[in-house]
């Protein structure tokens, strides 16, 4: 069952065609992937995460009102020449960096019929090779090697590789949860089952699936066999469960670093504050203001 083991994923798919209802009304006209975290859109952090794992071929699955996402990664010669003329070399480098990160390809999911349905559109771009999926509203701290570790593991096992975080008992009902057995060390597990949003007290573990996947090409055929599930949508979890039941190996890496979840206002605000305090240019002044504000003395 480890057919194509040894082949490393070299392409990424970012599904970004969802309705982003948890962030309305901001996301009525602006895609949540373009919300700024300090001075970069969420999507740039995600493409940077892919690039630092050696992935420079990125397919964005877009939908209605989402085309501006692609513009962010285009070269902008006019803007660049204006910055150059002004001698603003720092901003010039920042603007150029966006178009140097990766080759961006796009396709459209006409209707948001589910994450599995969205991934199905990637078939003609990735073919039967393994590929990475990065959800468009979360990213890991810059120093994380999670994606590289996942790609390495997938190349060895040939199956599906998931990323987990450990969640407290009272939060299991918000996530897909895995039943697992040990595989390598503490943090690499073999997945024996997946359950979507289990009731509190009935969860097989505290390991919650987060938005990074490395999938084998055979996922496309499984998606085609997947019937609409929760919410009437074609769910990626259901397609993965089909392959698991048929013997495809599924493994997971438990991620213990910082994860920024920008899909709803609370996580978004936390990401902005954490990343702003880490910045060399803004961090000292912002942290000082924040301490004063939290202490009841806004300045
Ligand atoms: P979410 O579950 O976060 O859904 O999708 P959403 O629509 O983006 O946001 P909420 O829950 O309504 O607030 C996970 C990822 O899958 C993409 C989303 O864009 C997001 O990156 N997705 C989801 C699609 O591309 N198409 C779909 O049909 C559904």
pLDDT the model gives residue 66: 81
Residues 213 and 278 in one domain: no
pLDDT the model gives residue 1: 43
Residue 153 belongs to some domain of the structure: yes
Residue 195 belongs to some domain of the structure: yes
In testing the pocket of ligand 1, which one of 12, 16, 17, 18 has its CB within 8 Å of the most ligand atoms? 18
| Cα 120 to Cα 255: distance, rounded to the nearest angstrom | 26
The conformation of residue 159, written as its DSSP 8-state character, comes to S
Residues 221 and 283 in one domain: no
What is the count of structural domains for the chain? 2
Residue 74 belongs to some domain of the structure: yes
Residues 113 and 239 in one domain: yes
Would you give the end-to-end CA distance of the chain in angstroms? 62
Residues 60 and 108 in one domain: yes
Measured in Å, residue 120 CA sits from the centre of ligand 1 at 14
Residue 221 belongs to some domain of the structure: yes
Residue 4 belongs to some domain of the structure: no
Which residues, listed in sequence order, are joined to residue 131 by a DSSP beta bridge?
A: 215
Residues of the chain with pLDDT under 70: 1-5, 298-299
Whose tokens are 């066999």? That residue is 225
Measured in Å, residue 161 CA sits from the centre of ligand 1 at 20
Index of the ligand 1 atom closest to the CA of residue 15: 25
pLDDT the model gives residue 299: 67
Residues 79 and 215 in one domain: yes
Whose CA is closest to atom 5 on ligand 1? 18
Read off the CATH number of the domain in which 186 is found: 3.90.550.10
User: 284 CB contacts (<8 Å, ≥6 apart)?
Assistant: none
Measured in Å, residue 135 CA sits from the centre of ligand 1 at 8
Which structural domain range is residue 143 located in?
A: 12-263
Strand runs labelled E in the chain: 11-15, 36-37, 40-41, 57-62, 103-108, 131-134, 138-140, 160-166, 176-184, 188-196, 207-215, 250-254, 259-261
Ligand 1: lining residues by beta carbon, under 6 Å: 15-22, 61, 109, 112-115, 117-118, 135-137, 263
Residues 277 and 180 in one domain: no
Q: In this structure, are residues 235 and 116 in contact, taking their beta carbons and an 8 Å threshold? A: yes
Whose CA is closest to atom 18 on ligand 1? 18
Residues 163 and 277 in one domain: no
Residues 149 and 215 in one domain: yes
Residues 57 and 70 in one domain: yes
Whether the model pTM is above 0.85: yes
Measured in Å, residue 258 CA sits from the centre of ligand 1 at 22
Whose tokens are 């979507």? That residue is 196
* pLDDT tens-digit series, residues 100-122: 999 999 999 999 999 999 999 99
Q: Do the strands 57-62 and 103-108 form a parallel or antiparallel pair, or are they unpaired?
A: parallel
Measured in Å, residue 78 CA sits from the centre of ligand 1 at 34
Measured in Å, residue 232 CA sits from the centre of ligand 1 at 14
pLDDT the model gives residue 266: 97
Residues 42 and 64 in one domain: yes
Which residues, listed in sequence order, are joined to residue 212 by a DSSP beta bridge?
A: 134
* pLDDT tens-digit series, residues 241-292: 999 999 999 999 999 999 999 999 999 999 999 999 999 999 999 999 999 9
Residue 288 belongs to some domain of the structure: yes
| Cα 167 to Cα 90: distance, rounded to the nearest angstrom | 40
Residues 191 and 271 in one domain: no
Residue 75 belongs to some domain of the structure: yes
Question: Is residue 293 reached through a cis peptide bond, with omega within 30 degrees of 0 on the bond before it?
Answer: no
Residue 160 belongs to some domain of the structure: yes
Residues 250 and 271 in one domain: no
């Amino acid at each position: 069952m480890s057919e194509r083991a040894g082949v490393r994923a070299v392409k990424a798919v970012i599904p970004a065609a969802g309705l982003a209802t948890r962030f309305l009304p901001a996301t009525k006209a602006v895609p949540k992937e373009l919300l700024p975290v300090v001075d970069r859109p969420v999507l740039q952090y995600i493409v940077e995460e892919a690039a630092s794992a050696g992935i420079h071929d990125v397919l964005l699955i877009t939908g209605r009102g989402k085309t501006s996402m692609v513009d962010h990664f285009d070269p902008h010669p006019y803007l660049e020449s204006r910055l150059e003329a002004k001698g603003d070399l720092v901003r010039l480098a920042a603007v150029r960096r966006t178009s140097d990160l990766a080759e961006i390809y796009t396709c459209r999911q006409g209707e948001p019929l589910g994450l599995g349905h969205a991934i199905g559109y990637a078939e003609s771009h990735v073919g039967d090779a393994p590929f990475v999926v990065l959800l468009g509203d979360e990213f890991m701290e810059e120093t994380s090697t999670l994606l590289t570790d996942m790609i390495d593991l997938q190349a060895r096992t040939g199956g599906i590789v998931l990323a987990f975080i450990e969640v407290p008992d009272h939060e299991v009902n918000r996530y897909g949860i895995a039943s697992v057995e040990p595989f390598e060390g503490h943090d690499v597990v073999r997945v024996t089952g997946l359950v979507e949003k289990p009731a509190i007290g009935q969860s097989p573990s505290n390991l919650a699936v987060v938005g990074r996947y490395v999938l084998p090409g055979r996922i496309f055929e499984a998606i085609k066999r997947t019937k609409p599930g929760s919410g009437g949508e074609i769910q990626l979890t259901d397609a993965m469960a089909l392959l698991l039941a048929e013997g495809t190996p599924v493994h997971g890496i438990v991620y213990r670093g910082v994860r920024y979840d920008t899909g709803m206002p609370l996580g978004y605000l936390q990401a902005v504050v954490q990343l702003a305090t880490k910045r060399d240019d803004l961090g000292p002044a912002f942290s000082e203001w924040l301490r004063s504000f939290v202490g009841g003395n806004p300045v």
